[in-house]
Structure 1
Amino acid sequence: MKKMFSIAVVILLAAVMGCSSNGADSPSSSPAGSSSGDKVELTFSFWGDNIEKESYTKLIESYNKAHPNVTIKPMYIPDDYNTKLNALAASNTLPDIAKMNAGQIFPWAKSNRFLDITPVHESNQVGKKLDYVAFKDSAGKTIGYSSNNEIIIMYYNKDIFDEANIPYPPANAANAWTWEQFVDTAKKLTKDKNGKHPGEPGFDPANITTYGVNMTRNYTTIQPFLLSNGGGLVTSSDKKLLLDTPESIEALQRIADLSNVDMVMPKPAQSSTLPSADAALLTKKVAMVIDGQWSLQVLGKAMAEQGLKLGTAVLPKMQQAVTINTGSAIEIMATENSKKHLKEAQEFYAFVMDPQNIFPLIETGLAMPNEEKWFTDPDLIKKWVDNPYHPKEYKESVVDYGLKNVQQQAGFYWEDDVKAQTIILPALDQLWLGKKTAEDVVKNDIMPKLKQELGM
């Protein structure tokens, strides 16, 4: 699934927090029982492409069939999800259970939009979740769990490596490339129309036919490299800003240098003209792509149906081998209907949070399980890994990596994360364009505004 850190949630936050909340009290005051044995109707909202829509629709149909006294009504919102959910809140017509973008979770929890899901997890209605998929507020209370677990990894076209007689990127985190090894390999894979590589006499950066690597320089994909270098955005414990540390600044500059100095990655304007990741790898316009697990949905299909010789690898490291997790949560909304039928709402929540029940999304490469046992039980691992949509390196580069080398991105514990994005991302554009250094952007453009806006 694509990340949907919508700026709309920031713009409309005041409206959300100020409008009626379907009579919602604080989550702790919600009743623990259900109504009667009458027919119960609950609404579940979600987004996604056609595959995800079909998977959730079938899941709901199977649930309704197995629970004749309950009808779950799907509310599919394919685009502008944050904005439309805000509008539903303003009109007092929120769904009873909803997928929630990471950017919405903290502000909506603060305005008591969610019922407490702790009783469901403490009652063993759901399996033990991976620690890193929990969203926790400033007091350390869990306010949600990522339903579709995903991490950032590296994809590559094996044909390009074979033609250049270069070993594949490491699948095991213990053997992760150093940053220097990564850049050196990317230079060997980057070539212009005359077959020359960066650093060679006569190399033409204006006519590159194959780039060594590409990545979207967004808020999510930069974070594993900040963490890998010993930096980050903010500490998880006391929320101390880390973006202005030497380690964070160095990591940002190294990412920018891939385009502006090393010439192994497209500049922002060039990236916009490249095809999607699957087409870029298939047509050999790019050798390696750094992206999220969700991209395997299209890349795995290209491998299974179009002959792409796809490989997966761990990210290159600066100081330590680290990736981050991403994902959205599912919440029981504090509507009058969900409070009246709390037992049924909790039962469906538990059902839809079970990896077994959303297995079609896992099997086709869109998501990863959010429960620990799916990363440790050999039979369960085999079930979700052994299929035509997962490269043979997947067990090491994703399953093992996803169990042992994941740190949370800031949006899982930093309540000011969405506000910070609106300051950080526009400023970084000057770095990616090569107009300013990372130190200049961070110290002069970002930090003063962060401290002022966040009162830090």
Structure 2
Amino acid sequence: MKKSVKVLSTTLLAMSLVTAAGCSSDNGNNGGGNTNSGGTNTAAEGNSGGGNAPAAEKADILFWTPFSGADGEFMKKIVEKYNGSQDTYKVKLVIQPNGEYYKMLDVALSASKDRPDLAIMHVDQIPTYVNKGQLQPMDDLAAASGINKADYVEAPVNYETIDGKWYGIPLDIHPLVMYYNKDLFDKAGIAAPPTNRAEFESAVEKLTDKDKGVYGYAVPTLWPQQFIFPSLVWQNGGDLWNGTDVAYNSPEAVEMVQWMRGLVEQGFSPANVQQDGENTLFLQGKNAIQFNGPWMKGQFDEAGINYGVAPVPQIGKAKQAVYAGSHNFVVTKDTTDAAVVKGIGDFLKYVSTNSMDWAASGQALASKPMLESAEFKALPMQSSVAQAFDYVQFAPNVLNWATISDPIWGELSNAILGKKDAQKAMDDAVAKSRQAMNK
């Protein structure tokens, strides 16, 4: 799929909560660095064939990730198993603090040493880094290593194919999902999770018990609205970007804001949910439904909640859709040593069929062979998450989107809290976004 990146500004892409989704925020291990040998060969010349070629030159591969929470341990297992499976290449895993990841990556990529050869990048960051000339296409590396586009879910592959070149190999896709308290559902006599607006509205009414402080669905005023609001807008036939301008003050978008405010006005949600308040209530058994990401699994398991997971219902009138993020492997522009490139290809080929440890973190894998494996299908939550892959959507493929769209979240909060009319709030968000674009 050919896609051109639309340049709106030369400003560096601001780090946002959206791009951070799916990575825990605890501080992690900064690890050591690696100086590349500075060879003149290109990625096209690297080929490990997915195995340990006897004549291959040994190489160390510096691999950066932002997995500084519990998810980091799962990636460590993959790297350790790969390193133990052969003795030609050694992947050196460096876990950077999630909240500082892209700032640190920018600094490293501008340096002549201690920069990563291979890195994890969120799919919606890739267009900006391609535009800055900091990533190299992976088509030749993939072909030489036996890695095929057809073996990955189409949505991230299409997004990161820019001007006919493939810049990222997806590890996972993490869409918004619906968590629900099975005990509260049983008590309310609800046999199955809702799948559409009518079922959802009926369920939250039955689940709400104001005398006991139990709510059907606590509407977040802040995070994770970065996943919720776009999902609802797309479901209702609207969009965040119309091809030339921001569009989140459309009738379709405003209707969804009014719908969320209506849940508060009807008493199905608390009136003033603070940051993470909906999650606190869910952990306390006082919020029956929560929309959040697959990364919440570990916390809910540890809390011992009797919960279920299902796709987000179709609340909008037009179609099923859900916002998603995706972690991807990218190769930095200056990674030119042929042995290192061969090693990267060998490692990525290994991961394509040996990533169940990553699935154990709660993530749904993007590799089709893994998705179709009996081991993955035996994971009930991850299999449920993967049901949404046919209709996932990512952030608009627009440079500096995090900066442009940032005004949404404060104005959306104003509308949900009843401080502003929904139309006024979204009009104000659009005006601020246009200022960011100098329009």
TM over 0.5, yes or no? yes
1:109 is displaced (CA, Å) by 1.2
Aligned counterpart, 1:450 = 433
**1: CA distance between counterparts of 2:151 and 2:60?**
28
- Distance change (3 Å), C-alpha of 1:417 and 1:300: same
**2: CA distance between counterparts of 1:118 and 1:315?**
34
**2: CA distance between counterparts of 1:374 and 1:262?**
44
**1: CA distance between counterparts of 2:309 and 2:69?**
25
Q: Which amino acid aligns with 1:402?
A: A
Aligned counterpart, 1:292 = 293
Structure 1: which 5+ residue stretches go unaligned? 8-21, 171-175, 196-208
**2: CA distance between counterparts of 1:142 and 1:440?**
41
Count, aligned residues: 392
**1: CA distance between counterparts of 2:277 and 2:343?**
49
**2: CA distance between counterparts of 1:331 and 1:426?**
32
Q: Which amino acid aligns with 1:312?
A: V
**1: CA distance between counterparts of 2:101 and 2:437?**
26
Residues 298, 361 of structure 2: 8 Å contact kept: yes
**1: CA distance between counterparts of 2:201 and 2:79?**
47
Structure 2: which 5+ residue stretches go unaligned? 1-15, 22-35, 48-54
**2: CA distance between counterparts of 1:269 and 1:23?**
53
Residues 157, 282 of structure 1: 8 Å contact kept: no
- Residue 310 (structure 1) aligned with residue 307 (structure 2): yes
Aligned counterpart, 1:206 = none
Residues 186, 213 of structure 1: 8 Å contact kept: yes
After the TM superposition, which segments of 4 or more aligned residues of structure 1 sit over 6 Å from their partners?
A: none
Residues 363, 384 of structure 1: 8 Å contact kept: no
Aligned counterpart, 2:19 = 5
- Residue 66 (structure 1) aligned with residue 85 (structure 2): yes
1:170-249 to structure 2, matched below 5 A, reads 170=194, 176-178=195-197, 180-192=198-210, 194-195=211-212, 209-214=213-218, 215=220, 216-235=223-242, 238=243, 241-249=246-254
- Distance change (3 Å), C-alpha of 1:232 and 1:112: same
Aligned counterpart, 1:335 = 334
Q: Which amino acid aligns with 2:102?
A: N
Give CA deviations for 1:395-437 in whole Å, capped at 9, x if unaligned. 5x433x3243x231224x2334222232322332322321112
Where 2:176 maps in the other structure, the secondary structure is strand
- Distance change (3 Å), C-alpha of 1:78 and 1:105: same
1:38-437 to structure 2, matched below 5 A, reads 38-49=57-68, 51-79=70-98, 80-92=100-112, 93-102=114-123, 104-122=125-143, 124-126=146-148, 128-134=151-157, 135-136=159-160, 139=163, 141-170=165-194, 176-178=195-197, 180-192=198-210, 194-195=211-212, 209-214=213-218, 215=220, 216-235=223-242, 238=243, 241-259=246-264, 261-270=265-274, 272-273=276-277, 276=280, 280-302=281-303, 306=304, 308-317=305-314, 318-319=316-317, 320-336=319-335, 338=337, 341-352=340-351, 354=352, 356-365=353-362, 367-375=363-371, 377=372, 380=373, 382-387=374-379, 390=380, 395=383, 397-399=384-386, 401-404=387-390, 406-411=391-396, 413-437=397-421
The TM-score, its normalising length taken from structure 1, stands at: 0.76
Give CA deviations for 1:58-117 in whole Å, capped at 9, x if unaligned. 222222233312221111113321222223234433111011134532221112111211
Q: Which amino acid aligns with 1:32?
A: A
Give CA deviations for 1:255-289 in whole Å, capped at 9, x if unaligned. 23323x2332234544545654xxx4353111111
1:227 is displaced (CA, Å) by 0.7
Residues 213, 289 of structure 1: 8 Å contact kept: yes
Residues 152, 170 of structure 2: 8 Å contact kept: no
Residues 82, 101 of structure 1: 8 Å contact kept: no
The TM-score, its normalising length taken from structure 2, stands at: 0.78
Q: Which amino acid aligns with 1:5?
A: T
Residues 212, 286 of structure 1: 8 Å contact kept: yes
**1: CA distance between counterparts of 2:161 and 2:436?**
19
Where 1:334 maps in the other structure, the secondary structure is coil
* CA-atom RMSD in angstroms: 3.2
